[in-house]
A = this chain, B = another copy of it.
Amino acid sequence: MTSDRPFSAALARLRAAGLRPTRQRLALTRLLFSNGDRHVTAEGLHREAKADRVQVSLATVYNTLHQFTEAELLREVVVDSTRSYFDTNTSHHHHFFCEDSQRLIDIPGDAMRVENLSPPPDGATVRRIEVVVRVGPPKD
């Protein structure tokens, strides 16, 4: 097993990514990864940290989110042109995006298939296929 204690799990994650386990990064790691898959914005995570009495600046939240994305601990999901979302689930999957609540919901990678994709232009290499299903409230 990897460990059931949040602290050493967080520590292990950071070490594996080659990032120094600072107080701020440990705290953010725990917020992000201790309770199943999550979708966060920088602002939202910062608020959460403050509510948790973790002293961390917004700049550091941004830095950390980007470093974690770099290290593939997170994935950025682009669904809203005004805000960036980060997803703790880095495995192959897609998203529902609820346009009224601005919330993301995972669609497991194997619950959906993209068929018949035409080849990319100029022999470019496919980096990722992202499917976003925009949903609204029930039409009742």
Contacts and interface: CB of A to CB of B under 8 A. Distances in A.
Interface in A84-123: 84, 96, 98-99, 105, 107-108, 111-118, 120-123
Interface residues of A, number: 42
B113 A115 contact: yes
Contacts of A126: 133-135
Interface in A75-90: 76, 78-81, 83-84
Given A78-B78, A112-B115, A115-B112, A127 B120 contact: no
Q: How many copies of this chain sit in the oligomeric assembly?
A: 2
| From A81, A125, A136, A140, residue with most partner B Cβ within 10 Å | A81
Contact of A127 (B118, B122, B128, B135): B135
Contacts of A131: 114, 129-131
A96 to B, nearest CB: 6
